[in-house]
Structure 1
Amino acid sequence: MDAVAAMIPVALGVIMFGLGMSLTAADFARVVRHPRVALIALTCQVILLPLVCWGIVVVLGLPPVFAVGMLLLAASPGGAAASLWSHLFGGDVALNISLTAVSSVLSVVTLPLITNLALTVFYPGDAIGLQWAKVVEFFVIVLGPVALGMLVRRLLPRLAARVNRAVKLASVLVLIGINLAVIIPGWSTLVASLGTLAAAVSLFSATSFTIGYFAPRLLRVLPRQAVATSFEIGIHNAGVAIFVGTVALGDPAFALPGALYGILMNLFALGFGFSVARRVVHRNSVTEGHAYGAQNPVSGSGAP
C-alpha cells in the first residue's frame, strides 16, 4: 500500500493538470461577471451538500472511518468529468468549466475545515487531523498542476490543443486506476460494511444530482444551466478525497467511500442524463437562449 500512497499524488497531479489544460483566466472572470448562477451552485456544493452528507452519515450510522471518508467526499471539489457529462446531455459546459475552477480553489480552504470538524466529531480524542503541513501539500498537489496546465495552454496553445484529449483520457484512466488501487487492498474492510457504505454512497450521489438540479430551478435558474449545475455537484473529484484519506490522513480506509463513489457516480450521471437532462434540454432548446457566457444569467429569466 505504500507504493499506492506514493503514486496517488502523481495520479492526482495528472488529473489536475488535465483540468488546467481546459481552463483560461476567462473561466474565472466569467463567474465574477455573472455571479448569480455560480453563487447558487457553489452554495449548494460547499455548504448544503456537506450538511446533507452529514445527515446521511448519522442516520445510517456509518463506522467512524467511513463517516469521515464520506465528509471528505462531500467537501471535494467538482470533477473535470462534469463538463464531459454536461456536454453529452446538453448542459452549459462553460458554466461547468467555471464552477470546477472556482470550487477547486475553494476546496483548499473548505476541505481542511470540514475534514478536521468530521475528525473531531467522529474521532474524539484521537490524535489525528489534517495538519498545516498537509494542507500546504494539498494546496500544491491540487492547484500547482492546474496552474501549470493553464500556463501550457497559454504559452503553447497548439500543443495544448493536440494533447488535451490524450490528457483527458489519461485522467480518466488514472482515476479508475487509483479507485481500484484503493478498493482492492481494502476489500476486506469494504466488504464488512459494504451494504451500509454502498447505500450511503448511492444516497449521497442521488441527492447530489437532485440538489444540483432542483435547487437552482427553484431559484429560477435556466434549465440548461441547472443541468450543468447538477452534473457539477453530482460529479466530485474523488481523487482529492482519495489523496486526503490515503496520503494526508495516512489510512486508506478513509479513502474507500471516495473510491466507491468514483465508480458509482458515473452510473448515476448516466441515469440522470437520460431521465432528466436530455428531456429538459430538448423541451427548452428553443426558449432557453445562449450559453452561460453569452447571456445575462443575473436576470434569472426563464421557465420556472
Structure 2
Amino acid sequence: MDLLISVGLPLSLAIIMLSLGVGLEIADFRRVLTRGYPFAIGALCQVVLLPISAFATVKLFALPPEIAVGFMILSFCPGGVTSNILSKLAKGDVALSVSLTAVISLLSMLTVPLLAAWSIAHFMGADAPEVSITGLAIAMFLITTLPVAIGISIRHFATGFANRIESGLSKLATFLFVLVVLAALAANWQTFTENLGIMGGGLITLNIALLLIGLGIAKAANLSWDEAKTVSIETGIQNSTLGITLAALITGTESGFSPLALPSAVYGITMYVVAVPFLLWFRRKDVA
C-alpha cells in the first residue's frame, strides 16, 4: 500500500495531467485574452464560489473534521480532463472549458497549498498535521503543473506524436483514476461505511448546487447557452484524483490513505451519477 501511495499515486496524477496537457494548445491560453469575460465568470465560479459553497455544505451537514477537510480539498481542485469531456458531451463551449481547465490547473500550484493549509488548521485545530506550504507547492508543481507544461510542449513541437499518444494516454489515465479511487476506498473502508450516508448526501447536494450555481451565475452574466452549460460543468466537476493525492501528501505515506481522501474518492463515483441527468437535460434543451 505504501508503494502505491508514495509512487503509484503521484505517478498516476502526473500521467493524468500529462494527458490533459497533450490535448492543449497555446491557443487555449491565448483565448483567455480574446474571450476574457466568459473566462472571468467561469474562473470566479470555480475559484471563489465553489469553496464558499463547500464550506457552507460542511457546516450544514456538520461533517467530522477530517471529512470536512476532505470536502474543502476537493473544492480547491480544478476540473481536469473529465470536465472537458462532459462539456463536449453536453454540446457546450469546449474551447472555453479547455481554457478554464488549463489556466486554473496551472494556477492551482499557488492557490491549493495555501487554501488547504487554512482548511486543515480551521477544521482540525490541535489535531491538524503539520503542513509545509512550500513543500506542497513544490509537489503540486511536479505532479500537476510540470506534466501539463510537458504535454503542451509535446503538442506544440511534435503534433503528430501528440495525436498518436493522446488516445492511449487518456485510456491509461482513466484506468489509473479508477485504481486510485478503489484503493482509497478499500484503505478506509470502515470510515467510508460509517460516514457514507452523511458524506454521500453532502457530496451529491454540493454537486447539484454547484452545477445550478454555475448555470445561474452564467445566465445572470448574459453568457450564451453554450457558455452557460460549460461554466456549470466547470463549477460542478472537480479533479478527484488530485484531491486524493493532496490528502496523501498532507498526511504522509506512512499512515496510508487518509480519511481526508474519502470525499474525493466517493465523489469520483457520485459525480457521474449527478452529471448524467444534467447532460441529458442540457442536450434535450438544445433540441427544444
TM-score range, shorter chain: over 0.9
Q: The residue matched to 1:184 in structure 2 has which SS? A: helix
**8 A Cα contact 1:13 1:142, kept in partner:** yes
Identity of aligned residues (%): 32
Provide, for residues 237-268 of structure 1, a one-character-per-residue CA deviation record: whole Å limited to 9, x for no partner.
11111111012333521111001101111121
Q: Which residue of 2 aligns with 1:271?
A: 277
CA shift at 1:129, angstroms?
4.0
Which residue of 1 is the match for residue 186 of structure 2? 184
Alpha-carbon deviation of 1:280? 3.1
In 2, are the aligned partners of 1:190 and 1:256 still within 8 Å (CA)?
yes
Q: Given that residues 129 and 250 in structure 2 are in contact (C-alpha distance below 8 angstroms), is that contact kept between their aligned partners in structure 1? A: no
Q: Distance in 1 between matches of 2:77 and 2:53?
A: 14
Contact 2:57 / 2:202 at 8 angstroms: preserved in 1? yes
TM-fit CA distance, 1:126:
3.3
Is 1:53 the counterpart of 2:59? The answer is no
Q: Per-residue CA shift, 1:11-42, capped at 9, x if unaligned?
A: 00010000000111111110122110111111
Measure, in 2, the Cα distance between the counterparts of 1:246 and 1:58: 24
Structural mapping, 1:139-150, within 5 Å: 139-150=141-152
- Please show how residues 252-267 of structure 1 align to structure 2 within 5 Å: 252-267=258-273
1:155-186 per-residue CA deviation (whole Å, 9 max, x = no partner) reads 21111111211111211111111111101111
Question: Does structure 2 conserve the Cα–Cα contact (< 8 Å) formed by 1:223 and 1:280?
Answer: no
Q: What is the CA–CA distance in structure 1 between the aligned matches of 2:9 and 2:84, rounded to whole Å?
A: 23
Equivalent pair of 2:80/2:239 in contact (CA under 8 Å): yes
Superposition deviation, residue 123 in structure 1: 1.2
2:187 partner SS:
coil
Cα offset for 1:125?
A: 2.4
Q: Quote the Cα distance in structure 1 between the aligned partners of 2:194 and 2:105.
A: 33
Q: Distance in 2 between matches of 1:240 and 1:190?
A: 19
- Give how far 1:106 is off: 2.0
State TM-score, norm by structure 1. Answer: 0.89
Identify unmatched segments of 5+ residues in structure 2.
none
The answer to whether structure 1 residue 87 and structure 2 residue 88 are counterparts is yes
**Cα distance, 1:127 vs. partner?**
5.0
Q: 1:246·1:253 contact (CA, 8 Å) conserved in 2?
A: no
Matches within 5 A, 1:27-176: 27-126=28-127, 128-131=129-132, 132-176=134-178
Among candidates 227, 230, 233, match of residue 229 of structure 2: 227
Which SS does the other structure have where 1:78 is aligned? coil
Is the contact between residue 80 and residue 101 of structure 2 (CA under 8 Å) also seen in structure 1?
yes
Structure 1 SS opposite 2:125: coil
User: Which 4+ runs in 1 deviate beyond 6 A?
Assistant: none
- 3-state SS of paired residue (1:193): helix
- State the SS of the aligned residue for 2:127: coil
Which secondary structure does the structure 2 equivalent of 1:220 belong to?
coil
Residue type of the alignment partner of 2:277: G
2:287 is equivalent to residue 282 of structure 1? yes
CA distance in 1, matches of 2:270, 2:130: 28
* Structure 1 segment 15-34 matched on structure 2, within 5 A: 15-34=16-35
Equivalent residue, structure 2, for 1:14: 15
SS of the residue 2:78 aligns to: coil
Greater helix share, structure number = 2
Q: Distance in 2 between matches of 1:129 and 1:80?
A: 31
Could you tell me the TM-score, scaled by structure 2's length?
0.94
What is the Cα deviation at residue 143 of structure 1? 0.6
* Counterpart residue identity of residue 49, structure 1: L
Equivalent-residue separation in structure 2 for 1:127 and 1:271 (angstroms): 38
Question: Structure 1 stretches of 5 or more lacking a match?
Answer: 284-304
Amino acid at match of 1:56: T
2:182 alignment partner, SS class: helix
- 1:202 CA drift (Å): 0.8
Instruction: Tell me by how many angstroms 1:221 deviates.
Output: 0.6
Alignment coverage as a number of residue pairs: 282
How far apart, CA to CA, are the structure 2 residues paired with 1:152 and 1:83? 19
